[in-house]
Each structure stands twice: as structure tokens, then as C-alpha cells.
Amino acid sequence: MAKTYHHGDLHEQLLNAGEQALTEMPVDKVSLREIARRAGVSHAAPKHHFPSLGHLLAEIAARGFSRFIAALDEGADTARDQTPAGRLTAMGRAYLQFATDNPAVYQLMFGQREPMVMTPRLTEASYDAWQQIVNAVAAVTGQARAPMGAIHVWSSVHGLSLLKLAQRIPPDVPLHNVAESQVRMLIEGLQAE
């Protein structure tokens, strides 16, 4: 029987193959065997890098959170209005764009946790994303109201993103304007408290 050889970074190849599989099939249909097939390696090869499918999915989600944080930072840094409120509003727009551009990873990050394992890296990455929103809201409202404000902002933009992914928003609604006006209304409400 011929051995299957691989060149380069198999860890990275497996993550890329896993992410590709998630874009083409529901998470409950993704398997280590399917990911190995897509990476062009033996079905046993993933076990050398990930103890289980849940660990591999956790790493894909953690990488997703890292990209998510970078996208929100970039949105804030490139906002025309560099006030705290302007930066937070731009983050809302970037949030929606990230979800739209990365639907499979986004749904893995925020959706079904089975069979994903909450590894320390995933726990830290998801907490960092939360803290990013808290910090942006704190710049607008002050630290005392930041956690409650952050959950309002996050859940509102997350809900809009899920509606967009489910194609439940009427086609005549300009989504970027909705995300911006949604965050602006939340900011006004938070500042008025």
C-alpha cells in the first residue's frame, strides 16, 4: 500500500480544507475524513494535528475571531469620522461585512457549538472579540455602562447579520445604511441614559 505524503504545513492545509468544507456543506456533515480527503492526505493524518474534529473546528473558529477582530479594527481605523461614536458606527458596518463575506466561519463562530470543543485558544479569541466591542462602547459611554451597552450593540448588529445571511431583509433596504443607523440609534440611547 502506498503511503500518502504531504509537503508544507499540514496543520494549515487541514484548517483551509476544513474551512472550505464548511462553505460547501452543513457543519454536521463535515468530518475529519472529508477534511483529510480535501487536503489530499490519509484519513489518519489529521489526528497528528487535531485530537478530534471538534478541536479542528475550534481552531477554524478561533482564526475566524482573529480575522473578525482585525476587520472591525480596520473598519474603525478607516472611518471618516474618528470620534468614538464614528469609530463604533464603522465597526458595526465592518461587522456586517465580515458576516457577509465569511458566512460559514461566522456561523461556526457564533452558532452551533457541537461538536466544536471550547479550547483555551477559542475561549480567548471569543473573549478578545467581546472585549473589543466593550472597549469601543466604553469610549462612547464610559466604562461603567460599557458591558451593558456592548451587549446591546453586539446583539443588534449580530441579529442584522443573521437576517442578512438568511436572506430575510427586503431587497430595497440598504444594509450598510441600516447597520450604521442601528448603531447610531443605540449610541444615542446609551448616551441619553
Domain of residue 161: give its range. 63-192
Domain with residue 114: its CATH number is 1.10.357.10
CB 136 within 8 A of CB 84: yes
Please tell me the predicted confidence (pLDDT) of residue 8.
Answer: 63
**Domain co-membership, 89 together with 38:** no
Please tell me the predicted confidence (pLDDT) of residue 116.
Answer: 87
The pTM is what?
0.89
**For the chain, how many structural domains are there in total?**
2
* Distance between first and last Cα of the chain: 71
User: What is the H or E stretch that residue 170 is in?
Assistant: none
* Position 151, amino acid: I
**Domain co-membership, 76 together with 39:** no
Please tell me the predicted confidence (pLDDT) of residue 111.
Answer: 85
Please tell me the predicted confidence (pLDDT) of residue 171.
Answer: 86
Nearest-Å Rg of the Cα atoms of the chain is 19
Please tell me the predicted confidence (pLDDT) of residue 4.
Answer: 47
Please tell me the predicted confidence (pLDDT) of residue 190.
Answer: 83
Please tell me the predicted confidence (pLDDT) of residue 1.
Answer: 38
**Domain co-membership, 21 together with 100:** no
- Taking 70 as the pLDDT cut, the residues of the chain under it are 1-8, 176
83 φ, ψ (degrees, to nearest 5): -70, 160
